[in-house]
């Protein structure tokens, strides 16, 4: 998967969480449900592939969207999201 491909998925997710004060389990569930419902580009499998590629990158995952979340909190959130998408049955 190219950088442009996974980056688009990550940017879409970060855009959707940029105003959440805390990236807690409620936000993970909300985004996982939205991915499963098709509210984000690509399907669940494509999002999981993008997250897998993104999380293996050593550089910053969020270098385009203004947010108060740190790189570490975004990485943690994306890891939790990937786990939720893997363990939650598809609709």
> Pick the residue with more confidence: 58 or 4?
58
Residues 70-89 as b or e (16 or more Cβ within 10 Å = b) = eeeebbebbebbbebbeeee
Per the structure, the complete domain to which residue 7 belongs is given by 3-87
pTM across the whole model: 0.89
Helix H or strand E encompassing 80: helix 71-87
29 alpha carbon, distance to own chain's centre: 11
Query: What is the tens place of the pLDDT at every residue in 24-67?
Result: 999 999 999 999 999 988 899 999 999 999 999 998 888 878 88
Domain count, the chain: 1
Check: CB of residue 17 under 8 Å from CB of residue 69. Answer: yes
DSSP state, 14? H
């Amino acid at each position: 998967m190219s950088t442009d491909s996974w980056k688009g998925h990550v940017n879409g997710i970060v855009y959707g969480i940029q105003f959440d004060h805390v990236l807690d389990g409620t936000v993970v569930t909300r985004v996982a449900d939205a991915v499963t419902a098709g509210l984000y580009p690509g399907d669940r499998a494509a999002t999981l592939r993008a997250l897998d590629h993104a999380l293996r990158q050593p550089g910053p995952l969020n270098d385009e969207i203004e947010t108060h979340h740190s790189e570490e909190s975004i990485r943690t959130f994306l890891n939790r999201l990937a786990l939720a998408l893997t363990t939650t049955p598809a609709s």
